[in-house]
Structures are given as C-alpha cells and as structure tokens.
Chain A
Amino acid sequence: MSVKNSTTASESALMAGQAAQSPSEYIQSYLKRVTSGDLGSLPIILGLILIAIIFQSQNENFLTARNFVNLIVQMAGVTTIAYGVVFVLLIGEIDLSIGYVSAVAAVTMTLLLREPGGWPWYAALGLALVAVALIGMVQGLIITTFQLPSFVVTLAGLLAWNGVVLIMIGGAGTVIIQDSVIVGIANYFLPAIWGWILALVFVAGYTLTRVRQVIARRNQGLSTTPMLIVVLQIVGLAILSLLAVYVCNHDRGVPFVGIILLVFLVGFSFLATKTPFGRYVYAVGGNKEAARRAGISVQRIQVIVFMISSAMAGMGGIILASRLRSVDTAAGGGNLLLNAIAAAVIGGTSLFGGSGRVSSAVLGALIIMSVENGMGLLGLSSGVKFVITGLVLLLAVLVDAISRRSRTQSGLA
C-alpha cells in the first residue's frame, strides 16, 4: 500500500530525500516502517526483555551485576566469530570451517607461547591470526577459482582443520597458557575509572559522527534527521553505555573483552556501511552479475570476506582459549560453529545474502548466550538446553520470514 500512496509524491518530495522534516513526521515514518513489517532489531530487543523476565522470575541471580559481567565474557568468543559469519552470509556464502579454524589459531598461538623459548605474546598472536587468514584465503581462492559451493569446500575444511588441531596438540592433551597478557584478554577487568572514561569516549565519538553526518547532508541541501531525534538517540546511547559501565563496576568492572567486542562492532560496522568495500560486499550478495558489470572484482571481494571470516574465527578462538587459560583436543568443537552461525542469523542476517548488519552478531549472541546462561543458572540438563536453543533459532527465523512477507506485501521487500 505504501508504494501506491507514494507514486503521487511530487518532485520536491524526491528532492527532500525522504527523511522527514519534523520529529513527529520522523516518528510517523518509523512507525509506518514497523507496521509494514520492517521490524529492524525490535523483535530481538523484545526477545531479550522476555528472556530477562522469564529467567529472573525463575532465579533471582539472572539480573545481577555478576551475571551481566559473566554474560559478556561468555559471549565474547562466539560473538567475535559471528562478526566474520555476518560478512560471509552477506555475500551469500557459508563458512563451516570457522569452528576448527578458531582452534587452529588458538593452538598455534599457545604452542608458540610455550616455554622455554616462547615467543612474545604479540608475535604469537599475530602469527596465529596471519596463519588462519591465509587459510581463509586458500579456501576462498578454491571456492572462487573452481566455482565450487562454499558449503562443500568449507565442510572439507571443517574435517581437515579438526585433524590439524589434533595433530598439533598431539599427545599433550591439554596445553596451558601462561602468558599473562593473553590470559588477560578474557580475564582482565578494567578499573572503574577506565570504564567511565571509555564510555564517555564512545558517546563522544558517536555524537561527533552523527553531527558530522547531519552537517554533510545539510551542506548538500539534503533533508536531515530532526535535531531532536538526533539528540534523543545520543542521550539514549549515553544512558545505555553509562548504565552498562555502572553495572559492571558494581562487580569486577568492565571486562576487557567487552571493549574488544565494541571495537570490532564499530570497526566492522564502519567497514560494512561506510566504505566502498562494504558496499561491494552487499552488492555481491544482492546481485553478483550486477556487481561484475559495475566493474567490481567479485572474486577479490569473496576472497577477502573468507579471510575476514577465518581471521575473526581465529580471534574468537584465541578469546575462548584465553578464557579457559588453555587449549585441548576439544578446542573448536562442540556447538561453537553452529552457535556462531545461529547468532548471526538470529540477529537478523539473511542466509541468502545481501541483507544483514554487523550488529546482528552481538544481538544474536546475546540471545543465545543469555538463554544458555539462564538455563545454566536453573541447572537444566544440556539436552534441554539444546532443545530450547533450537526452538529459539526457529522462532527467530520465523519472525524474520513473517516480517519479510508482510514487507513484500507492502512493497518494501
């Protein structure tokens, strides 16, 4: 219906570039988007509130500062891997090797750190990440050069890298990490004052970006988001950030991994939405042929995305190893791979390419890990946990499918 209404829009409406002029118009157009099925992150936020209510009513330890900090640390590894998954899904591919690739990075780093004669932490970490990025490059080159389905090539990778992990660890079984910096990645908490300072820096950075955006549009004579809305968004973000720091500081402080997650979130969101590379990623996922005819080197984009995927898997594996302070033969196994992909999908990134956001990694991981965390508090068996996680995934995909349908009906597909 919205398309029909709008075909009468005048030339000046096009000049105005759609964004509404007054706050009330802005809110109206937002509500219109929501009612026509463009729900954005709304279902996830409602889902999180629901999860919080359910678990808090069952166990009063769920909504505590201690558990909040635990949750951040627990979700860090999966979220980091899921950042890479988002990019792979955006170009319409899949990477099943990320679970064991994450283990390859963790084991490589851990073995390099082993005393005597251990490498400095930065060299070990750097080499491990370069190694897995090369894995991504090789897999990407095989997929694109021979036109093979990424599903099959990375499935082969899943098997092969699992084998490599077992060979590398050998008879040792478990290798302990002793380097204090690496252990600190997932086990260090910022002093209270640094939490506050970082929150302020974050909000200031966001404010600067928004203001710069408004000025750039105004300079070009384009319509801008109403100032009131911009201010409200900034204030809202400030309240959320300060609240998060306040809660963390009531426990051990802001976890260092929380900052890592935030830096990746901001960096990759910038890459995806504000740079030509990100634009090409969406274009390749939306219409490969169009991208090719536009002069985009499709293969280059695909290979780089598989490298991002592997490198982020490696980073996630290192975070997980840091949390355990060791690696063992089970590293990268279990439901790590499926949780990472599920996180991106639950967060709203499409499996069919071209649609999704970097933030979906965080939102989806929040859902998965808070359900897991809550069920852990309730002492449920792992069988029950899997069933419920499966249902959550199904629910998320259903919400997405239904909202997509109503979007198609209202011409907003």
Chain B
Amino acid sequence: MVSDKPLLELKGVSKRFGAVQALTKVDFFCYPGEVMALVGDNGAGKSTLIKGIAGIYPFDEGEVYYDGKQVHIHSPKDCAALGIEIVYQDLALADNLDVVANMFLGRERVLPPWRLDEASMEKDCVKTLDSLSVTTLRSVRQPVASLSGGQRQAIAVAKAVMWNSRLVILDEPTAALGVAQTRQVLDLVRRLADKGLAVVLISHNLHDIFEVTDRITVLRLGQKVREFRTSETTQQEVVHAITAGKLQEVPGMVKS
C-alpha cells in the first residue's frame, strides 16, 4: 500500500500574519496509505499549515508539490480540485439538512434542468458510508442534528472521502468526543489509510496518535522541530520535542 513517493510535499513554506511569524520554512510531507500526525502546542502553527494547504491563507513563500508536480493553491476550490479534503474541527455540517444533503452540499447531482437527483445521491451516500463501515445510522434521511457526536464526525469524514479524494486532513477530529466515539473515528482514520489514501491527523492526544499514525511531525513556534516514525519513538520523546524541541531560528529574529 505504502508508496515511496510522497503525495503532498511542502518545501520551506512560511506564513506571516502582520507581526506574527506563524510558520517559518516548514517542510512537510505525507505518503499515500499512511497516517501522518501533526502535533504541537497551542499556537504552534498546525491550523495555519492546514489553511495554507486548503488555500484559505495561501503561503507567503515555499513550494507545494502534489504527486511530484509543483502546484499553486489559491482557494478552497483549487484544493478540492486536487483531491484534497479537509475536515475542520467545527465540522461545518448543516444541522437542519439530512445526511445525504450534507454529504453532497455544494456538489449536488442535478437532472436537467434543475432537479436534484435525490435517488442517485442517496444511493452513493449509503455506498460510501457502508464502505467506511459506518453502520450505526438509523437512516441517511435523518437530519444531522439528531446524530451523536461520533456519528456526525463520521459523516464529516465520509463527506471528505466521497469525492475520490486522495488526501484527507483532519483537524482535531476527536477533541469533543467520548471514548467510544473516539474509537469509531480513529478506526475510520485507519481504514482510510488502509484504503490507500494519505491522511493527516492533527491531535493533542498522543495516546490516539500512537494508536493510528505511521509518522509524526512536530511543530514548535511555527517551525518543524522533529519528525518521527511512530513505531520507532515513545510518547516521552514526542512530548519533549513539542515542549523543548530544538529551533532552527530564534523566534522574533528576522533573518535577512
């Protein structure tokens, strides 16, 4: 499953918000079939890195390679066109719409001239959920508001994978979940990678990270301080990197 070429590769990306240097020359990559963890303290720049990939806040400098080719992502549309889907922490599901409507929101199938093709959307929604073994739903026609946190998370993830996406990025998908529901989502994350997708998982929970990821990238103060293979490291080592990892540059010092 694991290929030898990274699907996404960032080389020396930086991002500055006014006086705040949120990212400094960060290198980052992820392989198909692997789960890459992205960890770091609050404000380390994890979400900023994701938003750069998403095209919400394009990087100031650095290069982005996708499938070995350099790409320029300027908007969420560019990002989706590459097959990158992002599950934000606040999920962004419309509670009043049912599961099918949420899964296809913004990309509805239409029968000419303007009629929604409900039947075919429902069928593919069920197919996707089944392929991810999301089976605790009573119906795909129930409003999302009536789902549990874990089920909603599963829908958000399923929505991301339905579009033949090749890279799925999840920003703290288990932060608000109970034990059983966290379990469901982590299983789902693992299954995505096993299906050959590249997955990036942001989380503050090292226990979860050691359970499902293959590699770990540590950010600290906007810089990449370490990268581990999960199987070759320990939680202590990662914690140390998060809190006291060696910085390339002293923050605040502008390099000319």
Contact = CB atoms under 8 A, between A and B. Distances in A.
A276 interface: yes
A17 B90 contact: no
Contacts of B142: 18, 412
Contacts of B136: 7, 9
A411 B97 CA distance: 15
A413 B93 contact: no
Contacts of A145: none
B92 A15 contact: no
Given A9-B135, A18-B140, 15 more contacts: A6-B138, A7-B138, A9-B137, A219-B119, A220-B123, A275-B114, A276-B114, A279-B105, A279-B116, A283-B97, A290-B94, A290-B102, A295-B80, A354-B95, A413-B95
A2 to B, nearest CB: 8
Interface stretch (B7-15, B65-73, B143-151): B143-151
Given A287-B95, A293-B88, A221 B135 contact: no
Interface string A269-311: 0000011110100110111011101111000000000000000
Nearest to B102: A290
A189 B92 CA distance: 50
6 contacts: A9-B136, A14-B126, A217-B119, A287-B94, A294-B106, A412-B143
A321 B212 CA distance: 69
Interface in B104-147: 105-108, 110, 114-120, 122-123, 126, 129-130, 135-143, 145-146
Contacts of B93: 287, 290
A411 B146 contact: yes
A289 to B, nearest CB: 6
B195 interface: no
A273 to B, nearest CB: 8
Interface in A2-24: 2-3, 6-7, 9-11, 13-15, 17-19
Contact of B96 (A9, A19, A354, A411): A354
A217 B121 CA distance: 10
A277 B107 CA distance: 12
B130 A276 contact: no
B100 to A, nearest CB: 9
Interface of B: 76-77, 80, 88, 90-97, 101-102, 105-108, 110, 114-120, 122-123, 126, 129-130, 135-143, 145-146, 148
Given A221-B123, A275-B114, A286 B94 contact: yes
Nearest to B134: A14
A89 to B, nearest CB: 13
Secondary structure class of chain B's binding surface, majority of residues:
loop
A347 to B, nearest CB: 17
A355 interface: yes
Given A289-B92, A296-B105, A279 B97 contact: yes
Contacts of A296: 105-106
B126 A277 contact: no
A117 to B, nearest CB: 40
A275 B108 CA distance: 9
A222 interface: yes
Contact of B140 (A14, A275, A277): A14
Given A9-B137, A222-B119, A279-B101, A17 B126 contact: yes
A53 interface: no
Contacts of B129: 14
Interface string A333-365: 000000000000000000000110000000000
A122 B15 CA distance: 59
Contacts of A19: 141
B146 A3 contact: yes
Contacts of B107: 294-295
Nearest to B159: A294
Nearest to B133: A11
Contacts of A221: 123
A276 B137 CA distance: 25
Contact of A294 (B95, B105, B118): B105
Contacts of B110: 275-276
Nearest to B86: A293
Contacts of B148: 3
Nearest to B113: A275
A216 interface: yes
Nearest to B109: A276
3 closest A-B pairs by CB:
A18-B139, A294-B106, A6-B138
B104 to A, nearest CB: 9
Nearest to A15: B126
B69 to A, nearest CB: 24
Nearest to B100: A17
Nearest to A293: B92
A400 to B, nearest CB: 15
